[in-house]
């Protein structure tokens, strides 16, 4: 007969409660891992969704996400003419607080030129922008719905399309408007500020400013060669999209990533200690029974099997409970929680290893116990 199973069956309620507690703990660990992964994935979605090969930005900057970048709108023409470039598009990026029927909506607005690279990716409803003014494609994360009206600056925009999972690295949902609208939004200052600018001699003339130009290349063209070519213009700087992604993960979300990473690590260590303690005390409580088993002649292997099987069952059931829990609630998080099979498997393997190590401690104590202790009162 399997002693581990019989013991669990006899104390089923308690065992399941312990599994549940462990499951909640591991659920939190998984949530943190998912939040960590989500942060990195979200930092990259916009860049990846644009499917650009080369980013051209202001000289000596790592824009437009890591640093401010302002380049003349004419740069797009020049970039488009570089050998190997199939298409180029100007982009602006600006975080704005809009207003939709009295509700504040915080959006990362992206100005783009319809029919050129940089438009909304992962459209799940409606359409892309068709008119040159006052249309907007928003991410569903903003809470906006089709045909909602949003006031941005001085103008009212209509939501014509919705995307999914398109957010800025800070978590603000993205919203696309035309480049012209976005430049208005950026440079149409409130009247007093405008007067100051005009007094300084900075008229409306240099309104054609964008934050970046992205280029898609012909098949076979090398991104770093195009970037090198673009860098020959003294006022521009360029990077491949791989470099842009590195900047995003290494510098833009780096602190947040490390912060969450640190916390996740601590949580993992704490969970490991708690699992070890649960299993160790579980074994300690049984020492008398183990002594009795030894006294009546049970071989060590039988005792080891009982402890190890129970710890592994506890760990694995707890882990599955935690994983199920987090799978159920992960979409309720305000930001993305990304859990892939490899994350689950890694944590599963860690839990497995911790259970083995913890049961090794219990096994050591169990093997040391003197069968004579069963005889004494």
Partner 1 sequence: MPAPIIELRDVSKHFGEGDTRVDALRSVSLSVAPGEVIALLGPSGSGKTTLLNVIGCILEPSSGWVRLDDEVIYDGKMLRRDLRRLRLEKIGFIFQFHNLLPFLDATDNVAVAMELAGKSDRDARRAAGELLDYLEVGRRGAAFPAKLSGGEAQRVAIARALANKPRIILADEPTAALDSKRAGIVMDLLRKLAAEQQTAIVVVTHDEKIFDRFDRIHHLRDGQIDPAASSST
What residue ranges bind partner 1 (CB under 8 A)?
A: 1, 3, 6-7, 9-11, 288-289, 292-299, 302, 370-372, 374-377
Q: How far is the CB of 309 from partner 1 (least distance, A)?
A: 14
Instruction: Tell me how far, at minimum, the Cβ of 305 lies from partner 1, in Å.
Output: 13
Q: Which is nearer to partner 1, 14 or 207 (by Cβ)? A: 14
Least distance to partner 1, CB of residue 3, Å: 8
CB 139 within 8 A of CB 98: no
Q: Which is nearer to partner 1, 198 or 372 (CB)?
A: 372
Q: Reduced to 3 DSSP states, what percent helix, strand and coil does the chain have, rounded to the nearest 5?
A: 55, 20, 25
Q: Smaller CB distance to partner 1: residue 349 or 367?
A: 367
Residue 241, classed as helix, strand or coil, is helix
Minimum separation from the CB atom of position 22 to partner 1 (A): 21
Shortest CB 140 distance to partner 1, Å: 53
The Cα–Cα gap between 128 and 56 comes to 24
From the CB of 279, what's the least distance to partner 1, in Å? 17
Residue found by looking up tokens 């982009």 in the block: 91
The minimum distance between CB 374 and partner 1, in angstroms, equals 6
* Residue closer to partner 1, measured from CB, 6 or 51: 6
User: Cβ(364)–Cβ(328) under 8 Å?
Assistant: no
Helix (H/G/I), strand (E/B), else coil: 175: strand
- The distance of closest approach from Cβ of residue 21 to partner 1 in the complex, given in angstroms and rounded to an integer, is 21
- Residue 116 or 286 with smaller CB distance to partner 1: 286
Under a CB-based contact definition with an 8 Å cutoff, are residues 89 and 76 in contact?
Answer: yes
Residues 6+ apart with CB under 8 A from 31: 326, 330, 333, 337
Please say which residue, 235 or 288, places its beta carbon nearer to partner 1: 288
Token pair in block for residue 171: 């978590």
Could you give the dihedral angle defined by the CA atoms of residues 214, 220, 226 and 227, in that order, rounded to the nearest 10 degrees?
70
Report the sign of the C-alpha dihedral through residues 35, 37, 43, 49, in that order: negative
Give the SS3 label for residue 261: helix
Alpha carbon 105 to chain centroid, angstroms:
21
Tell the smallest beta-carbon distance from residue 11 to partner 1 (Å).
7
Q: Considering the complex, state which of residue 86 and residue 367 has its C-beta at the smaller distance from partner 1.
A: 367
Nearest residue to 230 (alpha-carbon basis) of 12, 55, 7, 31: 55
Non-local CB neighbours of 92 within 8 Å, separated by 6+ positions: 109, 110, 111, 179, 182, 183, 186, 210, 211
Residue 49 or 371: which CB sits closer to partner 1?
371
Q: Which CB, 232 or 301, lies closer to partner 1?
A: 301
């Amino acid at each position: 007969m399997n002693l581990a199973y019989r013991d669990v069956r006899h104390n089923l309620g308690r065992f399941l409660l312990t599994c549940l507690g462990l499951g909640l703990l591991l659920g939190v660990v998984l949530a943190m891992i998912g939040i960590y992964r989500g942060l990195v994935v979200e930092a990259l979605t916009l860049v990846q969704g644009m499917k650009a090969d080369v980013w051209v930005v202001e000289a000596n900057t790592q824009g437009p996400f890591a640093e401010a970048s302002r380049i003349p709108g004419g740069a797009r023409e020049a970039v488009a003419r570089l050998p190997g470039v199939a298409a180029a598009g100007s982009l602006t990026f600006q975080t704005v607080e809009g207003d939709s029927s009295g509700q504040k909506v915080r959006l990362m607005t992206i100005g783009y030129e319809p029919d050129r690279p940089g438009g909304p990716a992962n459209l799940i409803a409606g359409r892309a922008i068709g008119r040159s003014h006052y249309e907007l494609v928003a991410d569903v994360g903003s809470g906006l719905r089709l045909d909602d009206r949003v006031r941005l600056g001085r103008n009212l925009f209509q939501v014509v399309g919705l995307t999914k999972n398109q957010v800025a690295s800070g978590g603000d949902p993205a919203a696309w408007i035309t480049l012209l609208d976005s430049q208005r939004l950026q440079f149409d200052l409130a009247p007093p500020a405008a007067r100051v600018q005009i007094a300084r001699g900075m008229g409306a003339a240099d309104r054609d400013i964008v934050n970046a130009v992205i280029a898609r290349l012909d098949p076979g063209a090398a991104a770093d060669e195009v970037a090198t070519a673009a860098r020959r213009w003294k006022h521009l700087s360029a990077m491949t999209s791989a470099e842009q992604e590195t900047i995003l993960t290494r510098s833009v979300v780096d602190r947040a990533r490390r912060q969450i990473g640190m916390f996740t690590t601590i949580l993992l260590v704490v969970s490991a200690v708690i699992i070890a303690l649960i299993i160790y005390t579980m074994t300690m409580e049984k020492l008398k029974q183990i002594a009795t088993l030894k006294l009546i002649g049970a071989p060590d292997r039988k005792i080891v099997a009982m402890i190890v099987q129970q710890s592994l069952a506890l760990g694995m059931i707890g882990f599955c409970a935690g994983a199920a829990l987090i799978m159920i609630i992960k979409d309720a998080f305000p930001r993305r929680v990304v859990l892939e099979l490899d994350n689950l498997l890694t944590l599963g393997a860690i839990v497995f290893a911790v259970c083995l190590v913890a049961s090794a401690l219990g096994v050591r104590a169990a093997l040391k116990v003197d069968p004579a202790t069963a005889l004494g009162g």
